[in-house]
Structure 1
Protein backbone atom coordinates (compact mmCIF):
# COMPACT_ATOMS: atom_id res chain seq x y z
CA UNK A 1 0.00 0.00 0.00
CA UNK A 2 1.31 3.47 -0.88
CA UNK A 3 0.25 7.01 -0.15
CA UNK A 4 -2.58 8.09 -2.46
CA UNK A 5 -3.87 11.46 -1.24
CA UNK A 6 -2.32 14.59 0.26
CA UNK A 7 -4.50 17.32 1.77
CA UNK A 8 -2.85 20.69 2.39
CA UNK A 9 -4.45 23.38 4.51
CA UNK A 10 -3.41 26.75 5.89
CA UNK A 11 -3.99 27.69 9.52
CA UNK A 12 -7.21 29.46 10.44
CA UNK A 13 -7.82 33.12 11.29
CA UNK A 14 -5.25 34.50 13.74
CA UNK A 15 -6.31 36.32 16.90
CA UNK A 16 -4.29 39.43 16.03
CA UNK A 17 -6.14 39.85 12.73
CA UNK A 18 -9.19 40.85 14.75
CA UNK A 19 -9.34 43.72 17.22
CA UNK A 20 -10.34 41.39 20.05
CA UNK A 21 -8.52 39.45 22.77
CA UNK A 22 -7.42 35.91 21.98
CA UNK A 23 -9.58 33.16 23.51
CA UNK A 24 -8.11 31.88 26.78
CA UNK A 25 -6.67 28.37 26.80
CA UNK A 26 -8.47 26.06 29.29
CA UNK A 27 -5.14 25.41 31.02
CA UNK A 28 -4.72 29.09 31.80
CA UNK A 29 -1.28 29.00 30.21
CA UNK A 30 -0.10 31.69 27.82
CA UNK A 31 -0.01 30.32 24.24
CA UNK A 32 3.55 29.89 22.92
CA UNK A 33 2.81 32.11 19.92
CA UNK A 34 -0.15 33.86 18.30
CA UNK A 35 -3.23 31.61 18.62
CA UNK A 36 -6.37 31.45 16.51
CA UNK A 37 -9.20 33.91 17.06
CA UNK A 38 -12.67 32.69 18.02
CA UNK A 39 -13.45 32.82 14.31
CA UNK A 40 -10.35 30.77 13.54
CA UNK A 41 -11.43 28.13 16.06
CA UNK A 42 -14.79 27.93 14.26
CA UNK A 43 -12.96 27.48 10.96
CA UNK A 44 -10.99 24.62 12.54
CA UNK A 45 -14.24 22.89 13.52
CA UNK A 46 -15.65 23.35 10.02
CA UNK A 47 -12.43 22.01 8.50
CA UNK A 48 -12.72 18.92 10.70
CA UNK A 49 -16.32 18.33 9.65
CA UNK A 50 -15.25 18.44 6.01
CA UNK A 51 -12.13 16.29 6.25
CA UNK A 52 -13.26 13.62 8.73
CA UNK A 53 -15.38 11.60 6.24
CA UNK A 54 -12.99 11.99 3.31
CA UNK A 55 -11.75 8.89 1.50
CA UNK A 56 -9.17 7.43 1.54
CA UNK A 57 -9.48 7.63 5.33
CA UNK A 58 -7.00 10.10 6.85
CA UNK A 59 -4.60 8.37 9.25
CA UNK A 60 -1.74 10.88 9.48
CA UNK A 61 -1.72 14.59 10.36
CA UNK A 62 1.48 16.62 10.10
CA UNK A 63 1.50 20.24 11.19
CA UNK A 64 3.82 23.19 11.38
CA UNK A 65 4.75 23.51 15.08
CA UNK A 66 3.38 27.05 15.23
CA UNK A 67 0.47 26.97 17.67
CA UNK A 68 -2.08 28.41 15.25
CA UNK A 69 -1.47 25.45 12.92
CA UNK A 70 -1.75 22.93 15.76
CA UNK A 71 -5.06 24.51 16.79
CA UNK A 72 -6.34 24.34 13.22
CA UNK A 73 -6.05 20.54 13.07
CA UNK A 74 -6.86 19.78 16.74
CA UNK A 75 -10.57 19.09 16.08
CA UNK A 76 -9.70 16.84 13.13
CA UNK A 77 -7.11 14.89 15.13
CA UNK A 78 -9.61 14.40 17.95
CA UNK A 79 -12.34 13.25 15.57
CA UNK A 80 -10.03 10.77 13.83
CA UNK A 81 -8.26 9.65 17.04
CA UNK A 82 -4.81 10.30 15.61
CA UNK A 83 -1.91 12.32 16.98
CA UNK A 84 -0.64 15.55 15.46
CA UNK A 85 2.95 15.22 14.25
CA UNK A 86 4.76 18.59 14.60
CA UNK A 87 7.12 19.06 11.65
CA UNK A 88 9.37 22.17 11.46
CA UNK A 89 9.80 21.62 7.72
CA UNK A 90 6.18 22.79 7.33
CA UNK A 91 6.96 26.03 9.17
CA UNK A 92 6.60 29.68 8.24
CA UNK A 93 8.68 31.43 5.56
CA UNK A 94 10.29 34.78 6.41
CA UNK A 95 12.31 35.57 3.31
CA UNK A 96 16.06 36.17 3.46
CA UNK A 97 16.12 38.80 6.19
CA UNK A 98 15.18 36.71 9.22
CA UNK A 99 16.79 38.50 12.14
CA UNK A 100 14.29 38.90 14.98
CA UNK A 101 11.57 36.42 14.11
CA UNK A 102 10.26 34.08 16.79
CA UNK A 103 10.80 30.33 16.83
CA UNK A 104 7.99 27.80 17.33
CA UNK A 105 7.42 25.77 20.48
CA UNK A 106 8.91 22.31 20.93
CA UNK A 107 6.77 19.17 20.97
CA UNK A 108 7.14 19.00 24.76
CA UNK A 109 5.91 22.60 25.12
CA UNK A 110 3.00 21.98 22.75
CA UNK A 111 1.87 19.01 24.85
CA UNK A 112 1.01 21.48 27.61
CA UNK A 113 -1.70 22.83 25.30
CA UNK A 114 -2.81 19.70 23.48
CA UNK A 115 -2.16 16.18 24.75
CA UNK A 116 -2.49 14.65 21.29
CA UNK A 117 0.96 15.74 20.09
CA UNK A 118 3.28 12.99 18.84
CA UNK A 119 6.36 13.50 21.07
CA UNK A 120 8.77 11.10 19.37
CA UNK A 121 8.80 12.44 15.82
CA UNK A 122 12.26 13.12 14.39
CA UNK A 123 12.08 16.32 12.36
CA UNK A 124 12.47 15.93 8.62
CA UNK A 125 13.99 19.41 8.26
CA UNK A 126 14.47 22.57 10.30
CA UNK A 127 14.49 25.83 8.27
CA UNK A 128 17.57 28.03 8.63
CA UNK A 129 17.27 30.76 11.26
CA UNK A 130 19.11 33.06 8.84
CA UNK A 131 16.21 32.96 6.38
CA UNK A 132 15.50 31.48 2.96
CA UNK A 133 15.24 32.74 -0.59
CA UNK A 134 12.14 31.71 -2.48
CA UNK A 135 14.23 29.14 -4.37
CA UNK A 136 15.41 27.75 -1.04
CA UNK A 137 11.79 27.57 0.09
CA UNK A 138 11.06 25.39 -2.95
CA UNK A 139 14.12 23.28 -2.08
CA UNK A 140 12.89 22.87 1.48
CA UNK A 141 9.41 21.91 0.28
CA UNK A 142 10.78 19.34 -2.16
CA UNK A 143 13.10 17.78 0.41
CA UNK A 144 10.38 17.48 3.06
CA UNK A 145 7.92 16.02 0.55
CA UNK A 146 10.41 13.46 -0.74
CA UNK A 147 11.21 12.23 2.76
CA UNK A 148 7.62 12.29 3.95
CA UNK A 149 6.21 10.43 0.93
CA UNK A 150 8.96 7.83 1.16
CA UNK A 151 8.31 7.27 4.87
CA UNK A 152 4.58 6.87 4.35
CA UNK A 153 5.03 4.61 1.32
CA UNK A 154 7.22 2.32 3.43
CA UNK A 155 5.08 2.46 6.59
CA UNK A 156 3.87 -1.10 7.40
CA UNK A 157 0.45 0.25 8.43
CA UNK A 158 -0.10 1.46 4.86
CA UNK A 159 -1.37 5.05 5.30
CA UNK A 160 -3.17 6.19 2.15
CA UNK A 161 -4.12 9.75 3.07
CA UNK A 162 -2.31 12.50 4.97
CA UNK A 163 -3.06 16.09 6.04
CA UNK A 164 -0.35 18.76 6.05
CA UNK A 165 -1.17 21.98 7.92
CA UNK A 166 1.12 24.89 7.15
CA UNK A 167 1.29 28.61 6.31
CA UNK A 168 0.42 30.62 3.21
CA UNK A 169 3.82 30.83 1.50
CA UNK A 170 4.70 27.26 2.42
CA UNK A 171 1.35 25.97 1.15
CA UNK A 172 1.93 27.64 -2.22
CA UNK A 173 5.50 26.30 -2.45
CA UNK A 174 4.61 22.75 -1.39
CA UNK A 175 1.71 22.66 -3.84
CA UNK A 176 3.80 23.93 -6.76
CA UNK A 177 6.51 21.38 -6.04
CA UNK A 178 4.00 18.55 -5.70
CA UNK A 179 2.38 19.52 -9.00
CA UNK A 180 5.81 19.80 -10.64
CA UNK A 181 4.79 23.19 -12.00
CA UNK A 182 6.65 26.24 -10.70
CA UNK A 183 5.90 29.50 -12.56
CA UNK A 184 8.77 31.81 -13.44
CA UNK A 185 6.89 34.67 -11.77
CA UNK A 186 6.34 33.74 -8.09
CA UNK A 187 3.43 36.19 -7.83
CA UNK A 188 1.39 34.07 -10.26
CA UNK A 189 -1.89 33.26 -8.55
CA UNK A 190 -2.05 29.56 -9.39
CA UNK A 191 -2.39 28.09 -5.89
CA UNK A 192 -5.08 29.52 -3.62
CA UNK A 193 -3.92 30.05 -0.01
CA UNK A 194 -6.92 31.17 2.02
CA UNK A 195 -7.27 30.40 5.74
CA UNK A 196 -8.45 26.86 6.60
CA UNK A 197 -9.21 26.03 2.97
CA UNK A 198 -8.27 22.68 1.43
CA UNK A 199 -5.98 21.85 -1.47
CA UNK A 200 -6.11 18.16 -2.42
CA UNK A 201 -3.62 16.18 -4.50
CA UNK A 202 -4.24 12.69 -5.90
CA UNK A 203 -1.41 10.39 -6.96
CA UNK A 204 -1.73 9.54 -10.63
CA UNK A 205 1.25 7.21 -10.86
CA UNK A 206 3.69 5.79 -8.36
CA UNK A 207 7.42 5.17 -8.52
CA UNK A 208 9.93 4.59 -5.70
CA UNK A 209 10.85 7.92 -4.14
CA UNK A 210 14.37 9.22 -4.69
CA UNK A 211 15.07 11.26 -1.56
CA UNK A 212 16.80 14.52 -2.41
CA UNK A 213 20.00 15.74 -0.72
CA UNK A 214 19.30 18.02 2.21
CA UNK A 215 19.05 21.72 1.30
CA UNK A 216 22.20 23.58 2.23
CA UNK A 217 24.44 20.52 1.99
CA UNK A 218 27.84 21.25 0.38
CA UNK A 219 27.08 18.97 -2.57
CA UNK A 220 23.62 20.44 -3.05
CA UNK A 221 23.04 22.70 -6.03
CA UNK A 222 19.87 24.60 -6.79
CA UNK A 223 19.19 22.86 -10.10
CA UNK A 224 15.51 22.10 -9.52
CA UNK A 225 16.17 18.38 -9.74
CA UNK A 226 13.01 18.01 -7.68
CA UNK A 227 11.05 18.57 -10.87
CA UNK A 228 11.94 14.94 -11.62
CA UNK A 229 8.83 12.88 -10.74
CA UNK A 230 10.98 10.40 -8.80
CA UNK A 231 11.65 13.08 -6.18
CA UNK A 232 7.97 13.02 -5.19
CA UNK A 233 7.15 9.37 -5.95
CA UNK A 234 5.40 9.89 -9.27
CA UNK A 235 2.82 12.29 -10.70
CA UNK A 236 0.35 14.15 -8.50
CA UNK A 237 -2.75 15.99 -9.71
CA UNK A 238 -4.41 18.88 -7.89
CA UNK A 239 -8.15 18.13 -7.75
CA UNK A 240 -9.12 20.79 -5.17
CA UNK A 241 -7.38 24.15 -5.09
CA UNK A 242 -8.13 26.29 -2.04
CA UNK A 243 -11.61 24.79 -1.62
CA UNK A 244 -13.66 26.60 1.03
CA UNK A 245 -17.23 25.56 0.30
CA UNK A 246 -17.55 24.11 3.81
CA UNK A 247 -16.63 27.38 5.54
CA UNK A 248 -19.64 29.39 6.71
CA UNK A 249 -17.83 32.69 6.04
CA UNK A 250 -16.28 31.59 2.76
CA UNK A 251 -12.66 32.05 1.74
CA UNK A 252 -10.83 34.69 3.77
CA UNK A 253 -7.41 36.31 4.14
CA UNK A 254 -5.97 34.94 0.92
CA UNK A 255 -2.28 35.39 0.19
CA UNK A 256 0.12 35.32 -2.74
CA UNK A 257 3.80 36.14 -3.21
CA UNK A 258 4.45 39.84 -3.82
CA UNK A 259 6.74 39.18 -6.77
CA UNK A 260 9.65 41.13 -5.28
CA UNK A 261 12.60 39.42 -6.86
CA UNK A 262 14.99 39.13 -3.93
CA UNK A 263 12.68 38.83 -0.89
CA UNK A 264 15.66 40.09 1.13
CA UNK A 265 14.10 43.20 2.70
CA UNK A 266 13.26 43.41 6.38
CA UNK A 267 9.69 42.35 7.05
CA UNK A 268 7.64 44.69 9.20
CA UNK A 269 5.11 43.71 11.87
CA UNK A 270 5.87 40.01 12.18
CA UNK A 271 3.45 39.72 15.05
CA UNK A 272 0.60 40.76 12.79
CA UNK A 273 1.29 38.65 9.74
CA UNK A 274 4.54 36.93 8.81
CA UNK A 275 3.73 37.44 5.15
CA UNK A 276 3.55 41.22 5.43
CA UNK A 277 5.92 42.69 2.85
CA UNK A 278 6.71 39.31 1.31
CA UNK A 279 3.23 38.74 -0.02
CA UNK A 280 -0.07 40.36 -0.92
CA UNK A 281 -3.24 39.78 1.11
CA UNK A 282 -6.17 39.04 -1.20
CA UNK A 283 -9.80 40.18 -0.83
CA UNK A 284 -12.19 37.90 1.02
CA UNK A 285 -14.68 35.84 -0.95
CA UNK A 286 -18.14 34.75 0.14
CA UNK A 287 -19.15 31.12 0.64
CA UNK A 288 -18.38 29.20 -2.51
CA UNK A 289 -18.41 25.59 -3.62
CA UNK A 290 -16.14 25.35 -6.63
CA UNK A 291 -12.49 24.86 -5.75
CA UNK A 292 -11.80 22.73 -8.83
CA UNK A 293 -8.16 22.99 -9.82
CA UNK A 294 -7.13 24.54 -13.10
CA UNK A 295 -3.57 23.15 -12.84
Structure 2
Protein backbone atom coordinates (compact mmCIF):
# COMPACT_ATOMS: atom_id res chain seq x y z
CA UNK A 1 0.00 0.00 0.00
CA UNK A 2 1.31 3.44 -0.99
CA UNK A 3 -1.57 5.92 -0.88
CA UNK A 4 -1.63 7.73 2.47
CA UNK A 5 -3.97 10.71 2.13
CA UNK A 6 -7.18 11.58 0.32
CA UNK A 7 -8.06 15.26 -0.03
CA UNK A 8 -11.68 16.03 -0.93
CA UNK A 9 -12.62 19.50 -2.18
CA UNK A 10 -16.12 20.77 -2.78
CA UNK A 11 -16.44 22.99 -5.85
CA UNK A 12 -16.54 26.75 -5.21
CA UNK A 13 -19.70 28.85 -5.18
CA UNK A 14 -21.60 28.39 -8.44
CA UNK A 15 -24.28 30.20 -10.41
CA UNK A 16 -27.79 28.99 -9.59
CA UNK A 17 -29.80 26.81 -11.97
CA UNK A 18 -33.48 25.91 -12.13
CA UNK A 19 -35.37 22.65 -12.52
CA UNK A 20 -38.98 22.16 -13.55
CA UNK A 21 -39.67 18.88 -11.73
CA UNK A 22 -42.81 18.29 -13.80
CA UNK A 23 -40.94 18.19 -17.10
CA UNK A 24 -37.40 17.42 -15.94
CA UNK A 25 -36.07 20.47 -17.78
CA UNK A 26 -33.04 22.21 -16.25
CA UNK A 27 -32.24 25.80 -17.16
CA UNK A 28 -29.52 28.29 -16.25
CA UNK A 29 -30.52 31.22 -14.04
CA UNK A 30 -30.22 34.93 -14.76
CA UNK A 31 -29.76 34.26 -18.48
CA UNK A 32 -26.16 33.11 -17.97
CA UNK A 33 -25.17 30.63 -20.67
CA UNK A 34 -23.52 27.40 -19.55
CA UNK A 35 -20.39 26.60 -21.64
CA UNK A 36 -21.36 22.94 -22.09
CA UNK A 37 -24.93 23.81 -23.07
CA UNK A 38 -26.38 21.75 -20.22
CA UNK A 39 -28.91 23.38 -17.92
CA UNK A 40 -27.54 21.62 -14.83
CA UNK A 41 -23.89 22.45 -15.55
CA UNK A 42 -23.34 26.07 -14.47
CA UNK A 43 -20.12 28.05 -14.15
CA UNK A 44 -18.75 29.45 -10.91
CA UNK A 45 -20.16 32.70 -9.59
CA UNK A 46 -17.72 35.61 -9.27
CA UNK A 47 -17.33 34.79 -5.57
CA UNK A 48 -16.62 31.17 -6.48
CA UNK A 49 -13.82 32.25 -8.81
CA UNK A 50 -12.29 34.15 -5.87
CA UNK A 51 -12.60 31.03 -3.69
CA UNK A 52 -10.85 28.92 -6.33
CA UNK A 53 -7.94 31.36 -6.33
CA UNK A 54 -7.78 31.23 -2.54
CA UNK A 55 -7.56 27.45 -2.72
CA UNK A 56 -4.80 27.75 -5.32
CA UNK A 57 -2.86 29.92 -2.87
CA UNK A 58 -3.36 27.24 -0.22
CA UNK A 59 -2.67 24.08 -2.23
CA UNK A 60 1.12 24.16 -1.93
CA UNK A 61 0.82 24.15 1.85
CA UNK A 62 -0.80 20.71 1.86
CA UNK A 63 1.20 17.94 3.48
CA UNK A 64 1.66 15.55 1.81
CA UNK A 65 1.54 17.51 -1.46
CA UNK A 66 -1.03 16.61 -4.09
CA UNK A 67 0.20 13.88 -6.45
CA UNK A 68 -2.84 12.88 -8.52
CA UNK A 69 -6.12 14.72 -9.16
CA UNK A 70 -9.62 13.41 -9.88
CA UNK A 71 -12.63 15.56 -10.71
CA UNK A 72 -16.33 15.22 -11.19
CA UNK A 73 -17.19 15.74 -14.88
CA UNK A 74 -19.19 18.89 -14.17
CA UNK A 75 -17.84 22.27 -15.28
CA UNK A 76 -17.87 23.91 -11.84
CA UNK A 77 -15.51 21.30 -10.40
CA UNK A 78 -12.99 21.54 -13.22
CA UNK A 79 -13.21 25.33 -13.10
CA UNK A 80 -12.54 25.25 -9.33
CA UNK A 81 -9.38 23.20 -9.90
CA UNK A 82 -7.93 25.32 -12.73
CA UNK A 83 -6.07 27.97 -10.63
CA UNK A 84 -4.65 25.24 -8.36
CA UNK A 85 -3.38 23.33 -11.40
CA UNK A 86 -1.55 26.43 -12.58
CA UNK A 87 -0.03 26.86 -9.10
CA UNK A 88 1.16 23.26 -9.03
CA UNK A 89 2.54 23.61 -12.56
CA UNK A 90 4.57 26.68 -11.58
CA UNK A 91 6.08 24.70 -8.72
CA UNK A 92 6.76 21.39 -10.54
CA UNK A 93 7.26 22.56 -14.13
CA UNK A 94 4.88 19.93 -15.41
CA UNK A 95 1.15 20.27 -15.88
CA UNK A 96 -0.82 17.72 -13.83
CA UNK A 97 -3.51 15.96 -15.84
CA UNK A 98 -6.93 15.58 -14.25
CA UNK A 99 -8.74 12.26 -14.29
CA UNK A 100 -12.43 12.97 -14.95
CA UNK A 101 -14.41 10.35 -13.05
CA UNK A 102 -18.19 10.07 -13.40
CA UNK A 103 -18.29 7.86 -10.31
CA UNK A 104 -17.59 10.89 -8.11
CA UNK A 105 -20.05 13.10 -9.98
CA UNK A 106 -23.14 14.92 -8.76
CA UNK A 107 -26.00 13.23 -6.90
CA UNK A 108 -29.47 13.55 -8.39
CA UNK A 109 -32.54 12.17 -6.63
CA UNK A 110 -34.70 9.47 -8.18
CA UNK A 111 -36.96 10.94 -10.84
CA UNK A 112 -39.65 10.11 -13.39
CA UNK A 113 -37.42 11.86 -15.96
CA UNK A 114 -33.78 11.58 -17.00
CA UNK A 115 -31.30 14.06 -15.55
CA UNK A 116 -28.93 15.48 -18.19
CA UNK A 117 -25.66 13.54 -18.39
CA UNK A 118 -22.47 15.59 -17.98
CA UNK A 119 -20.61 16.73 -21.09
CA UNK A 120 -18.38 14.10 -22.73
CA UNK A 121 -14.56 14.37 -22.50
CA UNK A 122 -14.34 15.75 -26.04
CA UNK A 123 -16.40 18.78 -25.01
CA UNK A 124 -14.69 19.21 -21.65
CA UNK A 125 -11.25 19.10 -23.29
CA UNK A 126 -12.16 22.13 -25.37
CA UNK A 127 -12.55 24.09 -22.14
CA UNK A 128 -10.01 22.33 -19.91
CA UNK A 129 -6.88 21.06 -21.73
CA UNK A 130 -5.57 19.69 -18.43
CA UNK A 131 -7.92 16.69 -18.67
CA UNK A 132 -6.30 13.30 -19.17
CA UNK A 133 -7.79 12.09 -22.49
CA UNK A 134 -6.65 8.50 -21.88
CA UNK A 135 -8.53 8.00 -18.61
CA UNK A 136 -11.62 5.75 -18.64
CA UNK A 137 -14.21 6.38 -15.88
CA UNK A 138 -14.89 3.56 -13.44
CA UNK A 139 -18.65 3.92 -13.23
CA UNK A 140 -21.43 6.09 -14.64
CA UNK A 141 -24.48 6.93 -12.46
CA UNK A 142 -27.97 6.18 -13.73
CA UNK A 143 -29.57 9.15 -15.46
CA UNK A 144 -32.91 8.70 -13.67
CA UNK A 145 -31.25 9.37 -10.31
CA UNK A 146 -30.36 7.42 -7.19
CA UNK A 147 -31.48 6.75 -3.67
CA UNK A 148 -29.15 7.88 -0.88
CA UNK A 149 -28.09 4.24 -0.21
CA UNK A 150 -27.47 3.94 -3.94
CA UNK A 151 -25.19 6.97 -3.81
CA UNK A 152 -23.19 5.39 -0.99
CA UNK A 153 -22.90 2.14 -2.95
CA UNK A 154 -21.70 4.04 -6.01
CA UNK A 155 -19.03 5.88 -4.00
CA UNK A 156 -17.93 2.69 -2.22
CA UNK A 157 -17.31 1.00 -5.57
CA UNK A 158 -15.67 4.03 -7.22
CA UNK A 159 -13.37 4.73 -4.25
CA UNK A 160 -12.42 1.07 -3.89
CA UNK A 161 -11.33 0.93 -7.52
CA UNK A 162 -9.53 4.28 -7.33
CA UNK A 163 -7.61 3.38 -4.18
CA UNK A 164 -6.62 -0.04 -5.49
CA UNK A 165 -5.35 1.50 -8.73
CA UNK A 166 -3.39 4.22 -6.92
CA UNK A 167 -1.88 1.68 -4.50
CA UNK A 168 -0.51 -0.17 -7.53
CA UNK A 169 0.45 2.93 -9.53
CA UNK A 170 4.12 2.84 -10.64
CA UNK A 171 4.60 6.49 -9.57
CA UNK A 172 3.69 5.51 -5.99
CA UNK A 173 1.49 8.53 -5.21
CA UNK A 174 1.16 9.42 -1.54
CA UNK A 175 -1.95 11.56 -1.98
CA UNK A 176 -4.90 12.23 -4.24
CA UNK A 177 -7.15 15.28 -4.55
CA UNK A 178 -10.80 14.73 -5.44
CA UNK A 179 -13.05 17.66 -6.43
CA UNK A 180 -16.75 16.93 -6.20
CA UNK A 181 -20.17 17.99 -4.90
CA UNK A 182 -21.80 18.30 -1.48
CA UNK A 183 -23.85 15.09 -1.38
CA UNK A 184 -21.04 13.08 -2.91
CA UNK A 185 -18.53 14.48 -0.41
CA UNK A 186 -20.73 13.52 2.54
CA UNK A 187 -21.00 10.01 1.13
CA UNK A 188 -17.21 9.90 0.62
CA UNK A 189 -16.67 10.68 4.30
CA UNK A 190 -19.06 7.95 5.40
CA UNK A 191 -17.60 5.37 3.04
CA UNK A 192 -13.95 6.05 3.91
CA UNK A 193 -14.45 6.10 7.68
CA UNK A 194 -17.13 3.42 7.82
CA UNK A 195 -19.36 5.75 9.88
CA UNK A 196 -22.76 5.10 8.36
CA UNK A 197 -25.52 6.78 10.42
CA UNK A 198 -28.85 5.06 10.95
CA UNK A 199 -30.54 8.27 9.82
CA UNK A 200 -29.25 9.16 6.36
CA UNK A 201 -30.07 12.82 7.00
CA UNK A 202 -27.79 13.02 10.03
CA UNK A 203 -25.50 16.05 9.89
CA UNK A 204 -22.10 14.37 10.21
CA UNK A 205 -19.67 15.37 7.46
CA UNK A 206 -19.67 19.01 6.37
CA UNK A 207 -19.71 20.28 2.79
CA UNK A 208 -19.10 24.02 2.49
CA UNK A 209 -18.28 25.65 -0.85
CA UNK A 210 -14.57 25.19 -1.57
CA UNK A 211 -14.20 23.42 1.79
CA UNK A 212 -11.34 20.93 2.00
CA UNK A 213 -11.54 17.60 3.81
CA UNK A 214 -8.58 15.35 4.54
CA UNK A 215 -8.62 11.61 5.21
CA UNK A 216 -5.57 9.69 6.38
CA UNK A 217 -5.09 5.97 6.03
CA UNK A 218 -4.90 4.13 9.31
CA UNK A 219 -1.29 3.03 9.60
CA UNK A 220 -2.03 -0.37 11.06
CA UNK A 221 -5.14 -1.05 9.07
CA UNK A 222 -4.88 -4.22 6.96
CA UNK A 223 -7.65 -2.90 4.70
CA UNK A 224 -6.61 -2.31 1.09
CA UNK A 225 -10.05 -1.18 0.13
CA UNK A 226 -12.30 1.49 1.55
CA UNK A 227 -14.64 1.09 4.50
CA UNK A 228 -13.17 1.73 7.91
CA UNK A 229 -9.59 2.15 6.75
CA UNK A 230 -9.43 5.95 6.91
CA UNK A 231 -9.66 8.68 9.56
CA UNK A 232 -10.95 12.21 9.00
CA UNK A 233 -8.41 14.89 9.93
CA UNK A 234 -10.11 17.88 8.27
CA UNK A 235 -13.88 18.16 7.85
CA UNK A 236 -14.56 20.72 5.10
CA UNK A 237 -11.91 23.13 6.35
CA UNK A 238 -12.43 26.71 5.18
CA UNK A 239 -9.74 28.46 7.22
CA UNK A 240 -7.93 29.52 4.03
CA UNK A 241 -11.04 31.26 2.64
CA UNK A 242 -11.66 34.94 3.40
CA UNK A 243 -15.39 34.26 3.75
CA UNK A 244 -14.94 31.18 5.92
CA UNK A 245 -17.69 28.58 5.94
CA UNK A 246 -20.40 29.31 3.37
CA UNK A 247 -23.34 27.52 1.77
CA UNK A 248 -23.12 24.34 3.81
CA UNK A 249 -25.34 21.48 2.64
CA UNK A 250 -26.67 18.26 4.15
CA UNK A 251 -29.23 15.61 3.23
CA UNK A 252 -32.85 16.44 3.97
CA UNK A 253 -35.04 13.43 3.28
CA UNK A 254 -34.47 11.11 0.33
CA UNK A 255 -34.11 13.96 -2.23
CA UNK A 256 -36.47 12.07 -4.53
CA UNK A 257 -38.75 13.54 -7.18
CA UNK A 258 -40.92 10.40 -7.02
CA UNK A 259 -43.85 10.03 -4.64
CA UNK A 260 -43.78 6.30 -3.85
CA UNK A 261 -47.27 6.38 -2.33
CA UNK A 262 -48.76 7.89 -5.47
CA UNK A 263 -46.84 5.50 -7.70
CA UNK A 264 -48.42 2.57 -5.85
CA UNK A 265 -52.01 3.70 -6.59
User: For residues 214-229 of structure 1, what are the structure 2 equivalents within 5 Å?
Assistant: 229=223
1:44 pairs, out of 32, 40, 52, with: 52
Q: 1:133-191 CA distances to partner (integer Å, 9 max, x unpaired)?
A: 11111100100110000000000100111111111111000111001101011111110
* Residue 202 (structure 1) aligns with: 216
Which consecutive unaligned segments of at least 5 residues does structure 2 have? 18-28, 89-94, 260-265
Paired residue secondary structure (1:35): coil
Measure the CA separation in 2 of the matches of 1:206 and 1:131: 37
Any conservation in 1 of the 2:65–2:175 contact (CA below 8 Å)? yes
CA shift digits 1:263-286 (9 cap, x unpaired): 43259xxxxxxxxxxxxxxxxxxx
Which of 66, 80, 83 matches 1:58? 66
| TM-score of the pair, normalised by structure 2 | 0.84
- More contact order relative to length (CA 8 Å, sep ≥ 6): 2
| Alpha-carbon distance, 1:230 to partner | 4.7
Per-residue CA deviation, residues 107-155 of structure 1 (Å, 9 max, x unaligned), is: 1111111111111111111001122111111100100110000000000
What secondary structure does 2:249 align onto? strand
1:180 to 194, 202, 227: 194
The 1:206/1:91 distance shift into structure 2, 3 A limit, reads farther
Aligned to 2:146: 132
Consecutive unaligned residues of structure 1, counting only runs of 5 or more, are: 209-228, 268-295
Q: Say yes or no: does 1:265 pair with 2:257.
A: yes
- Deviation by residue 1:196-226 (Cα, 9 ceiling, x = unmatched): 0011001113667xxxxxxxxxxxxxxxxxx
Cα pair 2:114 2:144 within 8 Å, conserved? no
Shift of 1:30: 3.1
Per-residue deviation at 1:76?
1.4
Give the alignment partner of residue 30 of structure 1, picking from 28, 35, 60: 35
CA–CA separation in structure 2 for the residues paired with 1:160 and 1:189: 30
> Which residue is 1:150 aligned to?
164
Structure 1 SS opposite 2:210: coil
Give the structure-1-normalised TM-score: 0.75
Equivalent residues in 2 for 1:279-290, closer than 5 Å: none
Contact 2:164–2:224 (Cα < 8 Å) also in 1 = no
Equivalent pair of 2:213/2:237 in contact (CA under 8 Å): yes
What is the distance in 1 between the residues matched to 2:227 and 2:96?
25
Note if contact 1:194-1:254 (Cα within 8 Å) is conserved in structure 2.
yes
Give the Cα separation in 2 of the matches to 1:98 and 1:61: 34
Q: Distance in 1 between matches of 2:104 and 2:110?
A: 17
Q: Does 1:86 align with 2:78?
A: no
State whether residues 191 and 228 of structure 2, in contact with CA within 8 Å, keep that contact through their aligned partners in structure 1: no
